[in-house]
Chain A
Amino acid sequence: MTTTIERGRPGVRPVKAAPPGRRPGRIRRIGLPYLLLLPALVLELLVHLVPMVIGIVMSFKELTQFYIRDWGTAPWAGLDNYKLSVDFNAPVGEALLDSFLVTVAFTLLSVGLCWLIGTAAAIFMQDTFRGRGLLRALFLVPYALPVYAAVITWVFMFQHDNGLVNHVLHDQLGITDKPSFWLIGDNSFWALLTVSVWKGWPFAFLIVMAGLQNIPRELYEAAALDGAGIWQQIRRITLPSLSPVNQVLVLVLFLWTFNDFNTPYVLFGKAAPEAADLISVHIYQASFVTWNFGAGSAMSVLLLLFLLAVTGVYLALTSRGRRPADA
């Protein structure tokens, strides 16, 4: 992730290159980087920064469906939306806290499993064997499938009466007494986790595979000469060498999983069961289904603050002992 930009030399070489007729010199040279950045800056401003400011302002307003057309006129609510969100004894706050805890548990499990499966698959496929190319392509299919197409297939598999999961677990293996419900009730957590891991692990696989290519072969050869077996090589060389890659990977997986909306939304629809009520869908429901945009915004801001804090702590912990990232 650390892109090295330690270049002392400013700008381009002397303006020998400037074509005649155009004004050569400082202004053009100094202005050029900004000119190149302009489109990105305008877009970032329009679609990230302005909405973020609006979102923060909204969170201090009493913004219900009556004020949507002209949200500026909505009355100020002060900290009411925040109080509502963090009052864990009242229904709104309690539901938010539950949703938050579910999301934390879900994210930790999903990221852990994605990392584990992805890393194992990448390490097992480091050496060439017959069928490796085919297998590699196959493993990337869940990642390449559009979310809605993949998740809707899982919805079909989890159906109570005509789904594959109940057919296998109940009819064929006899593990469960009667067909279970997977998309409502407590089972929904495990259904969501399964889908999330199925969809997410190939990304870890891709990144770890890329990381493996950077480990010098000589390290393994030297270890083999010293008599280290393959398990020892994996433990002593492969895994430690992957740690910079893993730090980025785990952070990215964490943020994506924590913020994931698409998977639960396609799996459960607008209202997720309590056991699998991820925070994104919860906020969506608080905003668009119960039409309280002010409270929804306050929850979004709280979520952002939490993610900023986690990321900050994580980066501080993982970058210790390394040179500071010169992003």
Chain B
Amino acid sequence: MAPPRSFLWTRRLFLTLLTGFVLIPVYVMVSSSLKPLADVTGKFRWLPSELTIRPYIDIWSTVPLARYFVNSLIVAGAATVCSVVIAVFSAYAVSRYNFRGKRVFTVTVLSTQMFPGILFLLPLFLLYVNIGNATGIALFGSRGGLILTYLTFSLPFSIWMLIGYFDSVPRDLDEAALVDGCGPLGALFRVVVPAAIPGIVAVAVYAFMTAWGEVLFASVMTNETTRTLAVGLQGYSTLNDVYWNQIMAASLVVSVPVVAGFLLLQRYLVAGLTAGAVK
């Protein structure tokens, strides 16, 4: 049965307005990144007076963007890999075993999701400074400290989602593997992990995006050499000028990898959310 016209028209109107709302900032970002400076310092223009790729050349020298990019890649990449590996082990333990403290563990993991980041910022700041003073291990201002911090944002969510995902993998599969002579870890890596790949990819995407976009800890806990993109982008505003065309070009450059990755992998994310979060 075809939907009635009232439905079709409402749908058309709603989706058109929503597309406009979503697209306008994207258009501003793309078009402004191709404008000469005069176009972005005067009145706003929908169309550039001339198209130029100058901003894309200048962004690398106005601020050390390449270095920030590498820092972000290292921090987000390391946080993602560690977070996924650790979450796989924990979620397997929770999904497949009964042990004392299981409930306490899952409840604790879940509840850290609701804590405001600001609650951990001050103590972590002091903790890292004090560990540095006492042992000489530089956590404050280093990439290591930031990786450690990011790891624990994504870890609770990853564990939570993977438990749901592992639960949806039939137990008979890994029990059969155990009977066939696999150890528990063999069963995990040969049976459970391959069957849960969509969930694991979803978790990895989420962890990477969280780390790539985080601002609060990055702005407090980095210095000139370890600064990430989140903080580095502020460098395009000077006292005299705000290089809006360069800011937009740089924003686009730092967004393309994550947006492309996300769109490529989004069907895994939806599948992961279905199995892990929505049950």
Q: Which residues of A contact B (CB under 8 A)?
A: 1-5, 7, 9-13, 16-19, 30, 32-34, 36-37, 39-41, 43-44, 46-48, 50-52, 54-55, 58, 68-71, 117, 120-121, 124-125, 127, 135, 137-150, 152-154, 156-157, 161-164, 166-167, 171, 198, 206-207, 209-211, 213-214, 224, 229-231, 245, 248, 252, 255, 258-259, 261-262, 265-266, 279-280, 283-284, 287-288, 293, 296-297, 300-301, 303-304, 307-308, 311, 327
Contacts and interface: CB of A to CB of B under 8 A. Distances in A.
A156 B32 contact: yes
Given A43-B151, A164-B24, A144 B86 contact: no
Contacts of A7: 98, 171
A162 B22 contact: no
Nearest to B153: A47
B138 interface: no
Contact of A146 (B7, B99, B178, B255): B255
Interface in B203-260: 209, 212-216, 219-220, 229-230, 233, 244, 247-248, 251-252, 254-255, 258-259
A210 B272 CA distance: 9
B19 A135 contact: yes
Nearest to B253: A149
B87 A47 contact: no
Nearest to B44: A167
Given A3-B164, A156-B248, A146 B229 contact: yes
Contacts of A127: 3
14 contacts: A12-B175, A13-B179, A16-B181, A32-B93, A37-B105, A40-B109, A144-B262, A146-B213, A154-B25, A162-B44, A164-B28, A280-B116, A300-B122, A307-B116
Contacts of B115: 48, 52, 259, 304, 307
Interface string B115-126: 111111111101
Contact of B209 (A70, A144, A163, A327): A144
B116 A40 contact: no
Given A154-B25, A300-B122, 12 more contacts: A12-B97, A33-B93, A34-B99, A36-B90, A44-B155, A51-B127, A124-B10, A135-B15, A146-B213, A149-B29, A149-B252, A284-B216
Indicate the member of B28, B116, B130 with the most A CB atoms within 10 Å.
B116
B78 interface: no
Contacts of B252: 149
A36 B175 contact: no
B277 A48 contact: no
Contact of A145 (B94, B99, B255): B255
Contacts of B57: none
Indicate the member of A5, A16, A34 with the most B CB atoms within 10 Å.
A5
A70 B3 CA distance: 69
A209 B6 CA distance: 22
User: Binding site of A, secondary structure by majority: helix, strand, loop or mixed?
Assistant: helix
Given A33-B97, A47-B152, A142 B22 contact: yes
B36 to A, nearest CB: 13
A164 B114 CA distance: 36
A266 B247 CA distance: 13
A224 B215 contact: no
Nearest to A293: B122
Nearest to A56: B123
Interface stretch (B48-56, B58-66, B189-197, B263-271): B263-271
Contacts of B42: 161-162
A156 B96 CA distance: 51
Closest 8 CB pairs of A and B: A51-B123, A149-B251, A36-B93, A144-B262, A54-B123, A167-B44, A146-B213, A47-B152
A148 B233 contact: yes
A304 B116 contact: yes
A145 B122 contact: no
Contacts of B212: 146
A146 B254 contact: yes
B123 A138 contact: no
Given A33-B93, A207-B277, A3 B167 contact: yes
A315 to B, nearest CB: 11
A146 B230 contact: yes
B216 A265 contact: yes
Contacts of B86: 39-40, 43
Indicate the member of A296, A300, A307 with the most B CB atoms within 10 Å.
A300
A259 B11 CA distance: 33
Contact of B213 (A44, A148, A163, A297): A148
